[in-house]
Structure 1
């Protein structure tokens, strides 16, 4: 691919596309990204609450404290590092906050389309 998209950004390269699909492959990462797409910045605790809440809603169950704690640990040790590595989010370990980066438009569009497909919102 070559050229410019409608926003003037160069077409995404293969690595950007691969990173977008890997980021969206996991449901917990998708839910965190859906929230960050709207809020831009959130604490890991807030993301854990959102993730387990949405996962519980999809199974018609209430999230337990144990599930929330597991989601928190998984976000900190697994999902957020992947998103940081791909340049999609920044993580501040001091404040334990996650923020969307000015990542490529293609990544934001992938997240937006996945959110529409999965949640209808």
Structure 2
């Protein structure tokens, strides 16, 4: 089966794509996904560091610990649970690790394309 046929595969649940689009409308969630596409798994603390740094990469200011801690809390309480609910990531609360282990291939492809479009060549 060629690539065009597989993207129209009737086994892909349209609700899955709807949930993914809703989940990925928030930039911090996309940044989490972009990082996990490269690393497959990360601690919530690592994700907070990376997302905070990426959000402040263009302004040249020193990132205060308060800013990073706020981002950590938003990831833990809002963004990661939203990605879990959309079946994009798994969050192991015991180890505080987030992984793409269960992420369906169409969502990975969507995220990879979004990353390329958002971050440039």
- Give the TM-score band, short-chain normalised: 0.7 to 0.9
Of 98-107 and 58-67, deviating more is 58-67
**Distance (whole Å) between structure 2 residues aligned to residue 58 and residue 118 of structure 1:** 14
Give the structure 2 partner of residue 22 of structure 1.
22
**Distance (whole Å) between structure 2 residues aligned to residue 57 and residue 98 of structure 1:** 23
Query: Which runs of 5 or more residues in structure 2 are unaligned?
Result: none
Q: What aligned pairs does 1:1-121 form with structure 2 within 5 A after superposition? A: 5=6, 10-121=10-121
* Distance change (3 Å), C-alpha of 1:61 and 1:114: farther
**Distance (whole Å) between structure 1 residues aligned to residue 6 and residue 96 of structure 2:** 35
* Distance change (3 Å), C-alpha of 1:18 and 1:58: farther
Of 88-97 and 55-64, deviating more is 55-64
Deviation at 1:13, TM superposition (A): 2.3
TM-score (norm 2): 0.87
Deviation at 1:105, TM superposition (A): 1.4
Deviation at 1:79, TM superposition (A): 0.6
Count, aligned residues: 118
**Distance (whole Å) between structure 2 residues aligned to residue 62 and residue 110 of structure 1:** 33
Query: Which runs of 5 or more residues in structure 1 are unaligned?
Result: none
